[in-house]
Structure 1
Amino acid sequence: MKRRAFILATMLAGSMLAASALGGGAALAADKPTIAVVAKVGGIPWFNAMEKGIKEQGEALGVEAYMIGPTSADPALQVRAVEDLIARGVDVIGVVPNDAKVLEPVLKKARDKGIVVLTHESPDSENIDFDFEMISAQQLGEEHAKLLAKTTGCKGSYAVFVGGLSVPAHNAWADAAVKWLSANCPDMKQAADRFGVAESVDDSRDTALDLIRANPDLAGIMSFGSQGTVGAARAVKERGLGGKVAVMGLFSPGQGRRLVHEGVITGGFQWSPLEAGKAFVALGDKLVKGEKVEDGADLPVLGPVKMEGKVLFASKPLELSKETVDGLAELGL
């Protein structure tokens, strides 16, 4: 807040000088907060939807809000983006981390400069004001595990895709799913250790093809990353195994709707990336204004939240199925 007070004082001084020079006819410039969000990677449907939400909420609140989408899911590119935003003197930096630990030093630097720092899909991040989650890790993981169990009858082996082996939320979801399956489908084993390929359709497709070749008993693939479900489904379709190897997980409805209707993607559970984009801006604006966030608060966009340390848990699940996918796709998700 000291930093914002200094900026405001400087702006007011400059405006007063300008007004004096114009004979007092110029209006004082308004202090318009700037909120910038660094995505994992740009140009994919999930983050395109998030960017739309960021812009819509920014316009609704009258703040400058935008997203930066790195060209690849490289933690170093996110570090550079945050460094640039610090240099620009933005008021709020939001990040969906590829590697939470790699970002810690630069996020600390941002906070030391008085910048509000928010993360999403990163509940273990430390140098932040808050991390927010649209659904708890346990709930998201267990819903997918239950769907896999129902679809396969707990028979055969399965594989797990995540966006990266260092992405905190993806691995927390995967952990919850594996734990539930271990307890409730003890005879169903993982075909291999999880794969960090789910931010790339091509990598997920190639990995799924390898899994199908190496594991005749492969019954299902769960993907905790928006591109992995589509990539795995394409591989299953190529091999003519739709309905025999279940594919489920997070995906953008507009990207995966055809595969759902073809019976290649069984379904999944996620949240709205558009709403997550709006939440970045709404929460950032609230904190810039100095407003407090407490356990049980009913927050804009997020609704009622449960606070655990610096993590805000909302409950905004979206079920992806043949019945819902078209409607969600039409919303631009």
Structure 2
Amino acid sequence: MTQRALLAAATLTGALASATALAQQPPTIAVVAKVGGIPWFNAMEKGIEQMGEELGVEAYMVGPTSADPALQVRAIEDLISRGVDVIGVVPNDREVLEPVLERARSQGIIVLTHESPESVNIDYDFEMISAQQLGEEHARLMADTTGCEGSYAVYVGGLSVPAHNAWADAAVNWLEENCQGLTPAAERFGVAESVDDSRSTTLDLLRAHEDLAGIMSFGSQGTIGAARAVKERGLAGDVAVVGLFSPGQGRRLVHEGVITGGFQWSPLEAGQAFVALGNLLYEGGEVSDGDALPVLGEITLDGHTIFAAKPVELNADSVDALAELGL
């Protein structure tokens, strides 16, 4: 072999070795939360970090200072400029995020969402429980607690938050069919990501509606704020408060009989799922209906939405154990 041929072979070998090393580099996975600093997303961040350490990948969460879709857009733009491999997001407004998510995918970034099955410019959305199941479980609890008498109000994190409104739709539809004596006191309120806003809204509703029998919140802070207002008015047990909440944040209100209960999933497991699914796709893995996926278990695939079935019931019997898990 000539010297030139030997040099060419050595160069090719070196290039292949470099390419192999590059392919073996672990991905960087970044998840954009709705808002940082609240217990729900603190638990999600813990799950992201745990799974990142377990898999040996760089994984972290970005928590905007408020539930403003524009802040999520900026965070995603920053992640694109950093060249991360996987972007996960829990959208505050699906439509606002579509252009920036399309840009991320055009640059080869894997995009995952959670609580946003209608998102378009993504690889997959994953849900820990179906929207219908979560909504109907809360509706049944509200019906059992109120006896289907009086009026009720519904809180969501925002009127454009996809999953919250899907859950609320399922709950309201179930009540309309099965609990007709319980009627809406007003249109739904987009206050469930703020304790203060949900508290003040509940106080206003209690003043305006003497027959108010319950608040149903599809957002972790709405349940807490509503319960605080009910407690202030001395109406614990008279006005039902059902919904999602972080067990560590709501356990005392449950034991005081102010929060009736609710259903959710583990935000810690959702954080783990972001990283496990992102890593699976980065390594070339595929997702099919009926697969048993890491963290999510056996799934149902509907288009690009992955549905797991991992509901967690929140009540006086379960809340302490769940709180001890850091949820």
TM-score band w.r.t. shorter chain: over 0.9
- Structure 2 residue identity aligned to 1:39: A
User: What is the RMSD of the two structures over their aligned residues, measured on CA atoms?
Assistant: 1.3
Q: Answer yes or no: is 1:275 the counterpart of 2:258.
A: no
Local SS of the residue matching 2:227? helix
Aligned to 1:186: 180
Question: What is the number of residues matched between the two proteins?
Answer: 311
Instruction: Give the distance between the partners of 1:185 and 1:57, measured in 2 at CA.
Output: 42
Unaligned runs of 5+ in 2: 1-13
Instruction: Give the distance between the partners of 1:257 and 1:188, measured in 2 at CA.
Output: 27
Q: Answer yes or no: is 1:42 the counterpart of 2:36.
A: yes
Q: How far apart are 1:187 and its partner, in Å?
A: 2.1
Q: Answer yes or no: is 1:307 the counterpart of 2:320.
A: no
Deviation string for 1:59-90 (max 9, x for gaps)? Answer: 00000000000000000000000000000000
Aligned to 1:101: 95
- Structure 1 residue identity aligned to 2:145: T
Aligned to 1:285: 279
Aligned to 2:67: 73
Q: Answer yes or no: is 1:208 the counterpart of 2:202.
A: yes
- Structure 2 residue identity aligned to 1:154: C
Instruction: Give the distance between the partners of 1:103 and 1:125, measured in 2 at CA.
Output: 9
- Structure 2 residue identity aligned to 1:263: G
Q: Percent same amino acid at aligned positions?
A: 76
Instruction: Give the distance between the partners of 1:188 and 1:240, measured in 2 at CA.
Output: 22
TM-score normalised over the length of structure 2:
0.94
TM-score normalised over the length of structure 1:
0.92
**Equivalent of 1:149, from 132, 143, 151?**
143
* Runs of 4+ that moved beyond 6 A: none
Instruction: Give the distance between the partners of 2:255 and 2:179, measured in 1 at CA.
Output: 28
Deviation string for 1:72-115 (max 9, x for gaps)? Answer: 00000000000000000000000000000000000000000000
Local SS of the residue matching 1:36? strand
Following superposition of structure 1 onto structure 2, how do residues 71-150 of structure 1 map, counting pairs within 5 Å?
71-150=65-144
Q: Answer yes or no: is 1:252 the counterpart of 2:256.
A: no
**Equivalent of 2:54, from 56, 60, 63?**
60
Instruction: Give the distance between the partners of 1:187 and 1:268, measured in 2 at CA.
Output: 21
Deviation string for 1:156-207 (max 9, x for gaps)? Answer: 0000000000000000000000000000011211000000000000000000
- Structure 1 residue identity aligned to 2:292: D
